[in-house]
Amino acid sequence: MNALLINPWICDFSAYDLWSKPLGLLRIASFLKRLKVKVSLIDCLDRFHPQLDKFLNGRTLTKSTSGSGSYYSEVIDKHSIFKDIPRRYKRYGLPIEIFEKLLRETKRPDIILVTSGMSYWYLGVFEAIKILKKRFPSVPIILGGIYANICFDHAVKNSNADFVYRGTDIKEILGAISKLTEEEFDYSLIKKENLYLAYELYPKLAYITLRTSSGCPFKCSYCGWYLLDDRLKQEDPDFVISEIEYFYNKFRIRDFSLYDDALLYRAEDHIVKILHGLVKKKIKAFFHTPNGLHVRYINEKLAKLLRETGFIQPRLGLETTNEERQIVTGGKATNKEFLKAIECLREAGYSSKEIGVYIMAGIPGQSIEEMEETVKFLSSCRVRIFLEEYSPIPNTPDYKRSGLMPDADPLFHNNIAFSYLYGQDRLHEVKDLVHRLNKR
């Protein structure tokens, strides 16, 4: 049996590769391979794909030494919803020419699995499915991922996929594959040990992205992760250590990005054990936390351990310094907890340039003045500020406050579209302030 896995393009006004990888797709691939399925992967967002070189004409994509950087992109026509937004709309990722060439070089699959990212990126998903249907007209396509889960009805009606999967249960996904292909799997082949993510499917690797847990104990009003996975499940620390060691030794990877939503939760039973294991294994790597760390759980001991094990430029999640909004949005952090975390990180040896803090702009009901107060407060703390524009996520409390209809086209979830179309045009003032203070 042959399976083809696809990570489609991003269609948006802007996009940046912050160590992004299709973790769900790679997890499915590892199970399929264990079940003796021949798996092929085409990641349209692979910035390091060898066939991309000729399109760069000697240029290099802007990238840091840690592997993050800019995507290759091409300007495309804007959807009519975006007609009044004075910005260029782009397709980020491999040129379609490369995608079609890779499909021609791929043996006819028995099943195709397409994942999806943000709900408002669905145009890239639809384009990939259209091309796949043309190339392999009789091969069933399963669509999953974030968009498929959050906007399930929209995906069923419009994607042209043969089956849209909603959920995170690997056995259900395998069951859907078995039903569509009439292939019987020998599930006794699946064992927990050494079932690492299938990164060997990539022609070239610059970094490894992992999750040591799924779910999140918080239900923040602006975040919809609990709609995808409402149970917090932390991996066995020994398994995480062995997976990192495997990629460290076999692929000589030195940059690891941990995409947990609650990496520090129950720290003594999870991340502390992992970090001590890495020290014992003498693994000298760099670790990145693009999803942000919960400041509530950072103490002196943990801060020193993070520093010792190579967690560079830790990013913290604060969102706002407005105490009332902190409570309304879920009570994830307080200003007192934030200041204590900063103090612990500085005592551990982190400098102002290394400490980054995420804040949100454009939350329904949030004034420009409130955003500016947050920015000025963080500047006084001498930390680097990362501004995240609010994106409406269906079925969350803040979505209901946003003014969007429940069945609004997912393109309206786009953070830039939302800010332009719903009276947040002054956000540029906050962005300019952040830029000036970060330079200082």
H, E, C per residue of the chain: CEEEEEECCEEECCCCECCCCCHHHHHHHHHHHHCCCEEEEEECCCCCCHHHHHHHCCCCCCECCCCCECCCEEEECCCHHHCCCCCCEEEECCCHHHHHHHHHCCCCCCEEEECCCCHHHHHHHHHHHHHHHHHCCCCCEEECCHHHHHCHHHHHHHCCCCEECCCCCHHHHHHHHHHHHCCCCCHHHCCCCCCCCCHHHCCCCCCEEECCEECCCCCCCCCCHHHHCCCCEECCHHHHHHHHHHHHHHCCCCEEEECCCCCCCCHHHCHHHHHHHHHHCCCCCEEECCCCEEHHHCCHHHHHHHHHCCECCCEEEEECCCHHHHHHCCCCCCHHHHHHHHHHHHHCCCCCCCCEEEEEECCCCCCHHHHHHHHHHHHHCCCEEEEEECCCCCCCHHHHHHCCCCCCCHHHHCHHHHHHHCCCCCHHHHHHHHHHHHHC
Q: Give the per-residue pLDDT at 418.
A: 85
pLDDT digits (tens, 9 = 90+) for 385-394: 999 999 999 9
* C-alpha to C-alpha distance for 240 and 435, rounded to whole angstroms: 37
pLDDT higher than 70, residue 426: yes
Q: Give the per-residue pLDDT at 26.
A: 98
pLDDT higher than 90, residue 420: no
The residue with tokens 């007192």 is 336
pLDDT digits (tens, 9 = 90+) for 107-123: 999 999 999 999 999 99
Contacts of 327 (CB under 8 A, 6+ apart): none
Instruction: Give the tokens for residue 37.
Output: 């399925």
pLDDT higher than 60, residue 434: yes
Q: Give the per-residue pLDDT at 422.
A: 57
Per-residue pLDDT averaged across 128-141, rounded? 98
Confidence of residue 242 (pLDDT cuts 50, 70, 90): very high
Instruction: Give the tokens for residue 156.
Output: 């069923």
What does residue 258 show for φ and ψ, rounded to 5 degrees?
Answer: -105, 110
Q: Give the per-residue pLDDT at 374.
A: 97
pLDDT digits (tens, 9 = 90+) for 176-225: 999 999 999 998 888 765 689 999 999 999 999 999 999 888 899 999 88
* C-alpha to C-alpha distance for 333 and 64, rounded to whole angstroms: 30
Would you tell me the crossing angle of helices 237-250 and 271-280 to the nearest 10 degrees?
40
pLDDT digits (tens, 9 = 90+) for 318-354: 999 999 999 999 999 999 999 999 999 999 999 999 9
> CA angle at residue 242 from 237 to 248, to 5 degrees?
125
Tell me how crowded residue 400 is: count the other CB atoms within 10 A of its CB: 14
Q: Which of 58, 91, 86 is nearest to 74 (CA)?
A: 91
The residue with tokens 């384009």 is 127
Contact criterion met (CB below 8 Å) for 375 and 385: yes
Contact criterion met (CB below 8 Å) for 98 and 51: yes
pLDDT higher than 80, residue 63: no
* pTM of the complete model: 0.95
The residue with tokens 């020193």 is 304
Q: Give the per-residue pLDDT at 395.
A: 93
Q: Give the per-residue pLDDT at 58.
A: 67
pLDDT higher than 90, residue 226: no
- Looking at every residue in the chain, the average pLDDT score rounds to 94
* C-alpha to C-alpha distance for 116 and 119, rounded to whole angstroms: 8
Contacts of 237 (CB under 8 A, 6+ apart): 270, 273, 274, 277
CA separation, residue 191 to residues 33, 188, 214 (Å): 12, 8, 19
* C-alpha to C-alpha distance for 103 and 417, rounded to whole angstroms: 33
Lowest mean pLDDT, pick from 171-175, 272-276, 360-364, 419-423 = 419-423
pLDDT higher than 90, residue 234: yes
User: What residues pair up with 76 in beta bridges, in sequence order?
Assistant: 89
What does residue 163 show for φ and ψ, rounded to 5 degrees?
Answer: -150, 130
The residue with tokens 């500085």 is 346
> CA angle at residue 50 from 44 to 53, to 5 degrees?
95
Q: Give the per-residue pLDDT at 193.
A: 59
What does residue 254 show for φ and ψ, rounded to 5 degrees?
Answer: -120, -5
Q: Give the per-residue pLDDT at 97.
A: 97
Q: Give the per-residue pLDDT at 191.
A: 73
Contacts of 82 (CB under 8 A, 6+ apart): 89, 411, 414, 417
Confidence of residue 304 (pLDDT cuts 50, 70, 90): very high
